[in-house]
Each structure stands twice: as C-alpha cells, then as structure tokens.
C-alpha cells in the first residue's frame, strides 16, 4: 500500500533534489552543455547583495508569522471549542481559506489591502485611524504579507480543536474544585498540555512560510516595493528562469534547505530547554 507513495516520493522529491545538488557545481543555462565550476556557484550566491537581502526578508517573515499563526490557531480553537449550531458554521469558515488556491486568495487580498478603495482602509478611515498603503509601501509591505499568512490557519485550527476536545473533562473539573479560574486553567493546564502540538505546528509553519511563500509574494508584490519583500524563493526563481543560471539557482536552493533546517533545529533546541517532547514516547511536559 505504501508503494505508490514511495514511488512518488522518489520520483518527485528525492530524484529532483539529487539532480539539483549535482547541478549546483555546474554552470548550466538549460541550452548548452553543463560546465564544471566547483564551488563557484556558492561563492556567487554568497557575494550577491540580493541574496543576503532575501535571507533577511525571509527570516523576518518567519520570525513574525510563525508565532502569530500558531497562537492564533490555538486561541481561535479555544474560543470555538464548545459545540453549537452556529459554531459549526464558524469552524467551516475558518478552515475554508485553507483549501482555496493561492492565486485566488492573493487576488482577494490585493483587493482587501488596496490603499484607495480596499475595505480594510475604508474601515480604518471610518474610525479615524491612518490608512497605510500596505503592499505599495516598503514599511507596510511585510505587515501586509503577514496578514495574508494569518488568513490560512485552518489546518492548525483543526489540530488544536481536536486536541482540546480530546482532553478529559475530569481535568477541568478537578482544577475548578481546587479553585482555578478560567485563565489559570488555560495558563497552567491547557497550554502546557498542548505545547508539543504547538511545537510541531511551529515546525510546519516555519517550513511552509520559508519555502512555499513564493506564489503569494510573486503575485502580491513581486518582491517589491524596493525589494522590501524580496525573499529567497523569489531569488531562486529569478536566477533559474529569468537569468537562466540554473547552477546558481540550485546552490541557492540548497542554502534555503540548510537555513530551513537550522530554523527547525533552533525551535527544537528551544523546546528541549522547555522540556517538551517531540515523539509519541516523550510527548510530556
């Protein structure tokens, strides 16, 4: 039964990754014969100012977006934990953006964040607050992308909701008998129990935002304005398909993999300091 999945993993993931790693040591434009250049592509990538800027922008999005997405999914799941007729519709509405294709929801957000007639700016002006230019302003472009990222917390929401509903009600009853209020129960019981799940969601969101934000940024800002949202996936795309420098693009791609691994490793080390397990045997506080 695992054979189709294994074949897909080898053909669509492992084999292309192996080819891209080998291509990182060649100069190749897709038209002529590849030429061995050793580590030159990695040197070119490292010395490119746009490459260093793309890493800074990518890390900024990850550092801000991941905690907000994880905590947002937890808070929303906690608010709609109880059963109810209208809460079921609300849960479906929270999950719905997750299944919408990226180009569709990016187009919707381009309208929502339009500085002239977007609903968000119209609302801000109506209540007397300043209306930023969002994706057209270098200062507000990253916050605009973070808002777009926060819209898709449906999967994390469902995981948190399932974990909350799986908690035995006897735990809350015992805490109430001991005099714990709602905030104390959330702070000292619910949140620590769910920390391993929140950690795994942080791993997932860090990888997604770091590696799969290309479509959103390409359609929303194309790396602008003034390279304020120019991230590493966009740099790789331009090197490969605009400049036809597939060797340099492959080198940058493996740098992206290494940085993603370092981010996940940092999250894991932080979790170790908190005593949070990451396996079935050590999912304890």
- Per residue in 255-282, pLDDT (tens digit) is 998 988 888 888 788 777 666 554 544 4
Residue 227 Ramachandran class (φ > 0 left, ψ -120 to 50 alpha, else beta): left
pLDDT confidence tier of residue 248, bands split at 50, 70 and 90: very high
Assess contact for 285 and 275: CB atoms under 8 A. Answer: yes
List Cα–Cα distances, 36 to 26, 41, 77, 232, in angstroms: 4, 10, 53, 24
pLDDT at residue 276 in the model: 57
Assess contact for 24 and 41: CB atoms under 8 A. Answer: yes
Could you tell me the domains of the chain? Answer: 32-274 (1.10.3720.10)
H-run or E-run covering 36: strand 35-36
180 Cβ contact list (under 8 Å, min separation 6): 188, 189
Q: pTM, whole model, 2 decimals?
A: 0.85
> In a 3-state reduction of DSSP, which class is residue 161?
helix
How far, in Å, CA of 154 to CA of 168, rounded? Answer: 24
How far, in Å, CA of 2 to CA of 6, rounded? Answer: 6
- Per residue in 119-167, pLDDT (tens digit) is 999 999 999 988 999 999 999 999 999 999 888 888 899 999 988 888 8
């Amino acid at each position: 039964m695992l054979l189709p999945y294994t074949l897909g993993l080898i053909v669509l993931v492992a084999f292309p990754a192996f080819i891209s790693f080998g291509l990182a040591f060649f100069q190749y434009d897709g038209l002529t014969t590849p030429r061995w250049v050793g580590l030159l592509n990695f040197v070119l990538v490292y010395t490119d100012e746009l490459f260093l800027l793309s890493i800074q922008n990518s890390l900024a999005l990850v550092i801000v977006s991941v905690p907000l997405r994880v905590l947002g999914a937890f808070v929303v799941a906690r608010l709609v934990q109880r059963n109810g007729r209208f809460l079921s519709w609300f849960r479906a509405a929270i999950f719905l953006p997750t299944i919408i294709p990226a180009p569709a929801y990016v187009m919707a957000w381009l309208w929502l964040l339009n500085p002239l007639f977007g609903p968000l700016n119209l609302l801000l002006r109506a209540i007397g607050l300043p209306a930023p230019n969002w994706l057209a302003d270098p200062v507000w472009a990253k916050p605009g992308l973070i808002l777009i990222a926060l819209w898709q917390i449906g999967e994390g929401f469902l995981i948190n909701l399932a974990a909350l509903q799986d908690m035995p009600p006897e735990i809350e009853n015992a805490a109430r008998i001991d005099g714990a209020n709602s905030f104390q129960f959330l702070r000292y019981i619910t949140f620590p129990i769910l920390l391993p799940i929140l950690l795994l969601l942080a791993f997932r969101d860090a990888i997604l935002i770091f590696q799969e934000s290309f479509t959103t940024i390409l359609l929303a800002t194309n790396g602008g304005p003034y390279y304020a949202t120019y991230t590493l996936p966009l740099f790789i795309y331009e090197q490969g398909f605009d400049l036809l420098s597939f060797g340099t693009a492959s080198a940058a791609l493996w740098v992206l993999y290494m940085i993603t691994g370092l981010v996940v490793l940092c999250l894991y080390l932080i979790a170790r300091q908190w005593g949070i397990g990451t396996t079935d045997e050590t999912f304890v506080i």
